[in-house]
Amino acid sequence: MNPLLADLVSLLELERLEDRIFRGQSRDIGSRRVFGGQVLGQALTAAYHTIEGRLAHSLHAYFLRPGDVKAPIVYDVDVARDGSSFSNRRVVAIQHGRPIFNMAASFQIPEAGLEHQAAIPDVPRPEDLHDMSETPEPLLENVPEKMRRYLTRKRPFEVRPVEPVNLLSLEPSEPVRHVWLRAVDKLPDAPELHQNLLAYMSDFQLIGTVTLPHGIHFSEGGVQMASLDHAMWFHRPFRVDEWLLYSMESPSAASARGLALGQFYDTDGRLVASTAQEGLVRIWPRNKRRK
Protein backbone atom coordinates (compact mmCIF):
# COMPACT_ATOMS: atom_id res chain seq x y z
CA MET A 1 0.00 0.00 0.00
CA ASN A 2 1.12 3.57 -0.67
CA PRO A 3 3.09 4.72 2.43
CA LEU A 4 1.00 7.90 2.92
CA LEU A 5 -2.25 5.97 2.77
CA ALA A 6 -0.87 3.20 5.00
CA ASP A 7 0.11 5.85 7.55
CA LEU A 8 -3.42 7.30 7.51
CA VAL A 9 -4.99 3.86 7.94
CA SER A 10 -2.61 3.25 10.84
CA LEU A 11 -3.52 6.63 12.33
CA LEU A 12 -7.19 5.63 12.43
CA GLU A 13 -6.36 2.35 14.18
CA LEU A 14 -6.51 2.68 17.96
CA GLU A 15 -4.77 1.05 20.89
CA ARG A 16 -7.17 -0.64 23.31
CA LEU A 17 -6.42 0.46 26.89
CA GLU A 18 -9.45 -1.08 28.57
CA ASP A 19 -12.73 -2.67 27.47
CA ARG A 20 -14.22 0.58 26.09
CA ILE A 21 -11.27 2.97 26.33
CA PHE A 22 -8.90 3.49 23.39
CA ARG A 23 -5.91 5.68 22.54
CA GLY A 24 -5.01 7.28 19.24
CA GLN A 25 -2.04 9.27 18.00
CA SER A 26 -2.07 12.53 16.00
CA ARG A 27 -0.44 13.89 12.87
CA ASP A 28 0.63 17.45 12.24
CA ILE A 29 -0.74 18.42 8.81
CA GLY A 30 0.46 22.01 9.04
CA SER A 31 -2.13 23.58 11.34
CA ARG A 32 -1.78 24.53 14.99
CA ARG A 33 -4.40 22.02 16.13
CA VAL A 34 -5.45 18.45 15.39
CA PHE A 35 -7.33 18.13 12.10
CA GLY A 36 -11.03 17.67 12.88
CA GLY A 37 -11.39 14.84 10.38
CA GLN A 38 -8.79 12.85 12.30
CA VAL A 39 -10.83 13.02 15.51
CA LEU A 40 -14.02 12.14 13.63
CA GLY A 41 -12.40 9.10 12.03
CA GLN A 42 -10.78 7.90 15.24
CA ALA A 43 -13.97 8.38 17.27
CA LEU A 44 -15.92 6.34 14.73
CA THR A 45 -13.21 3.66 14.91
CA ALA A 46 -13.54 3.60 18.71
CA ALA A 47 -17.31 3.15 18.45
CA TYR A 48 -16.86 0.37 15.88
CA HIS A 49 -14.66 -1.53 18.35
CA THR A 50 -17.82 -2.07 20.43
CA ILE A 51 -20.13 -3.01 17.51
CA GLU A 52 -20.71 -6.30 15.69
CA GLY A 53 -22.79 -6.96 12.57
CA ARG A 54 -24.01 -3.37 12.16
CA LEU A 55 -22.89 -0.40 10.09
CA ALA A 56 -22.91 3.28 11.01
CA HIS A 57 -25.73 5.25 9.41
CA SER A 58 -25.24 8.58 11.20
CA LEU A 59 -23.01 10.53 13.56
CA HIS A 60 -23.38 13.87 15.31
CA ALA A 61 -20.34 15.49 16.90
CA TYR A 62 -19.21 18.66 18.67
CA PHE A 63 -15.68 20.04 18.74
CA LEU A 64 -15.19 21.42 22.25
CA ARG A 65 -11.53 22.42 22.41
CA PRO A 66 -8.57 22.54 20.00
CA GLY A 67 -6.65 19.26 19.91
CA ASP A 68 -2.93 19.16 20.73
CA VAL A 69 -1.03 17.51 17.84
CA LYS A 70 1.84 16.63 20.21
CA ALA A 71 -0.26 14.53 22.59
CA PRO A 72 -2.26 11.29 22.17
CA ILE A 73 -6.06 11.32 22.38
CA VAL A 74 -8.04 8.96 24.62
CA TYR A 75 -11.48 7.84 23.42
CA ASP A 76 -14.04 6.72 26.02
CA VAL A 77 -17.01 4.83 24.53
CA ASP A 78 -20.38 4.56 26.27
CA VAL A 79 -22.63 1.72 25.10
CA ALA A 80 -25.87 3.69 25.17
CA ARG A 81 -28.16 1.13 23.53
CA ASP A 82 -28.22 -2.16 21.65
CA GLY A 83 -31.68 -2.82 20.17
CA SER A 84 -32.89 -5.46 17.77
CA SER A 85 -32.02 -3.31 14.71
CA PHE A 86 -30.10 -0.25 15.95
CA SER A 87 -27.22 0.45 18.32
CA ASN A 88 -26.15 3.81 19.73
CA ARG A 89 -22.74 4.81 21.05
CA ARG A 90 -21.48 7.96 22.75
CA VAL A 91 -17.79 8.75 22.42
CA VAL A 92 -15.77 11.37 24.32
CA ALA A 93 -12.26 12.32 23.16
CA ILE A 94 -9.97 13.44 25.99
CA GLN A 95 -6.61 15.23 26.07
CA HIS A 96 -4.74 16.53 29.10
CA GLY A 97 -7.62 15.41 31.31
CA ARG A 98 -10.29 17.45 29.50
CA PRO A 99 -12.82 16.55 26.79
CA ILE A 100 -12.00 18.08 23.41
CA PHE A 101 -14.76 16.39 21.39
CA ASN A 102 -17.89 14.31 21.82
CA MET A 103 -19.92 12.28 19.37
CA ALA A 104 -23.07 10.18 19.21
CA ALA A 105 -23.19 7.55 16.48
CA SER A 106 -25.97 5.18 15.42
CA PHE A 107 -25.52 1.78 13.78
CA GLN A 108 -28.05 -0.40 11.96
CA ILE A 109 -28.34 -3.97 10.75
CA PRO A 110 -28.48 -3.67 6.93
CA GLU A 111 -32.03 -3.90 5.54
CA ALA A 112 -33.94 -2.95 2.39
CA GLY A 113 -36.39 -0.04 2.13
CA LEU A 114 -37.67 2.85 0.02
CA GLU A 115 -35.20 4.38 -2.45
CA HIS A 116 -34.85 7.90 -3.88
CA GLN A 117 -32.08 10.48 -4.01
CA ALA A 118 -30.95 13.87 -5.28
CA ALA A 119 -29.28 13.88 -8.70
CA ILE A 120 -25.52 14.22 -8.99
CA PRO A 121 -24.40 17.73 -10.07
CA ASP A 122 -23.46 18.15 -13.74
CA VAL A 123 -19.70 18.63 -13.42
CA PRO A 124 -16.63 17.39 -15.33
CA ARG A 125 -15.45 13.84 -14.62
CA PRO A 126 -12.29 13.31 -12.55
CA GLU A 127 -10.27 12.05 -15.52
CA ASP A 128 -10.72 15.48 -17.14
CA LEU A 129 -9.29 17.36 -14.13
CA HIS A 130 -5.88 17.84 -12.49
CA ASP A 131 -4.84 16.95 -8.97
CA MET A 132 -4.46 19.86 -6.56
CA SER A 133 -0.78 19.02 -6.08
CA GLU A 134 -0.17 19.60 -9.81
CA THR A 135 -0.68 23.38 -9.62
CA PRO A 136 1.61 24.88 -12.33
CA GLU A 137 4.79 26.47 -11.00
CA PRO A 138 4.09 29.92 -12.57
CA LEU A 139 0.88 30.13 -10.52
CA LEU A 140 2.82 29.34 -7.34
CA GLU A 141 5.48 32.04 -7.75
CA ASN A 142 3.54 34.77 -5.92
CA VAL A 143 1.77 32.50 -3.45
CA PRO A 144 2.72 32.67 0.27
CA GLU A 145 5.00 29.84 1.37
CA LYS A 146 2.39 28.32 3.70
CA MET A 147 -0.14 28.07 0.90
CA ARG A 148 2.49 26.71 -1.49
CA ARG A 149 3.24 23.89 0.95
CA TYR A 150 -0.48 23.18 1.36
CA LEU A 151 -1.08 22.97 -2.39
CA THR A 152 1.96 20.92 -3.34
CA ARG A 153 2.32 18.45 -0.48
CA LYS A 154 1.66 14.80 -1.17
CA ARG A 155 -1.56 13.39 0.29
CA PRO A 156 -3.06 9.95 0.94
CA PHE A 157 -5.97 11.06 -1.27
CA GLU A 158 -6.04 12.35 -4.81
CA VAL A 159 -7.87 15.69 -4.79
CA ARG A 160 -9.17 17.07 -8.10
CA PRO A 161 -11.08 20.37 -7.76
CA VAL A 162 -13.78 21.10 -10.32
CA GLU A 163 -13.63 24.87 -9.85
CA PRO A 164 -10.20 26.49 -10.41
CA VAL A 165 -8.18 26.94 -7.22
CA ASN A 166 -8.30 30.67 -6.47
CA LEU A 167 -4.74 31.49 -5.40
CA LEU A 168 -4.56 35.28 -5.36
CA SER A 169 -7.85 36.81 -6.52
CA LEU A 170 -10.24 38.12 -3.87
CA GLU A 171 -13.26 38.14 -6.17
CA PRO A 172 -16.43 36.84 -4.47
CA SER A 173 -17.97 33.69 -5.95
CA GLU A 174 -20.96 31.46 -5.37
CA PRO A 175 -20.81 29.50 -2.06
CA VAL A 176 -20.46 26.23 -3.96
CA ARG A 177 -17.49 23.88 -4.35
CA HIS A 178 -17.03 20.49 -6.02
CA VAL A 179 -14.03 18.22 -5.49
CA TRP A 180 -13.36 14.67 -6.69
CA LEU A 181 -11.61 12.51 -4.06
CA ARG A 182 -10.03 9.07 -4.15
CA ALA A 183 -7.53 7.20 -1.99
CA VAL A 184 -4.18 6.88 -3.75
CA ASP A 185 -4.12 3.07 -3.46
CA LYS A 186 -6.34 0.01 -3.07
CA LEU A 187 -7.84 -0.59 0.38
CA PRO A 188 -9.15 -3.73 2.11
CA ASP A 189 -12.81 -4.73 1.66
CA ALA A 190 -13.89 -3.47 5.09
CA PRO A 191 -16.96 -1.16 5.01
CA GLU A 192 -16.15 0.31 8.42
CA LEU A 193 -12.67 1.34 7.23
CA HIS A 194 -14.15 3.13 4.21
CA GLN A 195 -16.61 4.94 6.49
CA ASN A 196 -13.82 5.97 8.86
CA LEU A 197 -11.76 7.35 5.99
CA LEU A 198 -14.73 9.20 4.50
CA ALA A 199 -15.41 10.76 7.91
CA TYR A 200 -11.77 11.88 7.91
CA MET A 201 -12.08 13.47 4.46
CA SER A 202 -15.51 15.00 5.12
CA ASP A 203 -13.83 17.80 7.10
CA PHE A 204 -11.66 18.72 4.08
CA GLN A 205 -12.49 22.20 2.68
CA LEU A 206 -16.10 22.03 3.91
CA ILE A 207 -16.28 25.07 6.18
CA GLY A 208 -14.09 27.07 3.78
CA THR A 209 -17.09 27.15 1.44
CA VAL A 210 -18.58 29.76 3.78
CA THR A 211 -15.94 32.33 2.79
CA LEU A 212 -16.43 32.12 -0.99
CA PRO A 213 -19.16 34.80 -1.37
CA HIS A 214 -17.11 37.28 0.67
CA GLY A 215 -13.86 37.31 -1.28
CA ILE A 216 -11.84 36.37 1.79
CA HIS A 217 -8.36 35.02 1.21
CA PHE A 218 -6.35 33.37 3.96
CA SER A 219 -3.09 34.94 2.79
CA GLU A 220 -4.43 38.25 4.12
CA GLY A 221 -4.48 36.95 7.68
CA GLY A 222 -7.06 38.09 10.21
CA VAL A 223 -9.36 35.12 9.60
CA GLN A 224 -10.24 32.76 12.45
CA MET A 225 -12.03 29.56 11.47
CA ALA A 226 -12.83 26.52 13.58
CA SER A 227 -15.30 23.64 13.30
CA LEU A 228 -18.03 23.77 15.95
CA ASP A 229 -20.02 20.66 15.07
CA HIS A 230 -20.22 18.01 12.39
CA ALA A 231 -22.94 15.60 11.31
CA MET A 232 -22.76 12.80 8.79
CA TRP A 233 -25.17 10.29 7.28
CA PHE A 234 -24.16 7.15 5.37
CA HIS A 235 -26.84 6.25 2.80
CA ARG A 236 -25.40 3.53 0.56
CA PRO A 237 -22.30 1.31 0.30
CA PHE A 238 -19.21 2.95 -1.22
CA ARG A 239 -15.44 2.70 -1.50
CA VAL A 240 -13.05 5.57 -0.87
CA ASP A 241 -10.46 3.99 -3.18
CA GLU A 242 -12.86 4.78 -6.06
CA TRP A 243 -13.73 8.31 -7.17
CA LEU A 244 -16.26 10.21 -5.07
CA LEU A 245 -17.57 13.68 -5.85
CA TYR A 246 -17.76 15.93 -2.79
CA SER A 247 -20.39 18.57 -3.57
CA MET A 248 -20.40 21.41 -1.00
CA GLU A 249 -22.50 24.53 -0.49
CA SER A 250 -23.02 27.14 2.21
CA PRO A 251 -26.65 28.29 2.56
CA SER A 252 -26.01 30.73 5.44
CA ALA A 253 -23.47 32.78 7.38
CA ALA A 254 -24.45 34.92 10.38
CA SER A 255 -23.39 35.74 13.95
CA ALA A 256 -19.75 34.78 13.25
CA ARG A 257 -20.91 31.29 12.26
CA GLY A 258 -21.26 29.65 8.87
CA LEU A 259 -23.20 26.58 7.81
CA ALA A 260 -21.89 24.23 5.11
CA LEU A 261 -23.60 21.18 3.63
CA GLY A 262 -22.00 18.40 1.62
CA GLN A 263 -22.99 15.37 -0.43
CA PHE A 264 -20.83 12.50 -1.68
CA TYR A 265 -21.63 10.80 -5.01
CA ASP A 266 -19.90 7.89 -6.71
CA THR A 267 -19.18 7.88 -10.44
CA ASP A 268 -22.47 6.09 -11.14
CA GLY A 269 -24.30 9.08 -9.64
CA ARG A 270 -25.35 7.29 -6.44
CA LEU A 271 -25.64 9.54 -3.38
CA VAL A 272 -23.63 7.59 -0.80
CA ALA A 273 -23.27 10.03 2.12
CA SER A 274 -24.22 13.52 3.30
CA THR A 275 -22.62 15.85 5.80
CA ALA A 276 -23.30 19.16 7.55
CA GLN A 277 -21.02 21.40 9.55
CA GLU A 278 -21.29 24.72 11.36
CA GLY A 279 -18.07 26.60 11.97
CA LEU A 280 -16.81 29.71 13.66
CA VAL A 281 -15.78 32.34 11.09
CA ARG A 282 -14.35 35.55 12.53
CA ILE A 283 -12.83 38.34 10.48
CA TRP A 284 -10.63 40.56 12.62
CA PRO A 285 -10.44 44.30 11.83
CA ARG A 286 -7.10 45.19 10.23
CA ASN A 287 -6.00 47.23 13.26
CA LYS A 288 -6.49 44.19 15.52
CA ARG A 289 -4.69 41.59 13.42
CA ARG A 290 -1.49 40.05 14.67
CA LYS A 291 1.66 41.32 13.02
Our answer to whether residue 82 is catalytic in this structure is no
- 65 vs 63: CA distance, rounded Å: 6
Our answer to whether residue 247 is catalytic in this structure is no
Tell me which of 203, 205, 266, 274 is the catalytic residue: 203
Following DSSP, what letter does each residue of 201-266 receive, concatenated? HTTSSTGGGGGGGGT--GGG--EEEEEEEEEEEE-S---TTS-EEEEEEEEEEETTEEEEEEEEEE
Tell me which of 202, 247, 263, 277 is the catalytic residue: 277
Tell me which of 195, 227, 263, 274 is the catalytic residue: 227
**Cβ(279)–Cβ(227) below 8 Å:** yes
CB proximity list for 109: less than 8 A, separation 6 or greater: 53, 54, 85, 86
- 236 vs 241: CA distance, rounded Å: 15
Our answer to whether residue 227 is catalytic in this structure is yes
Active site residues: 203, 227, 277
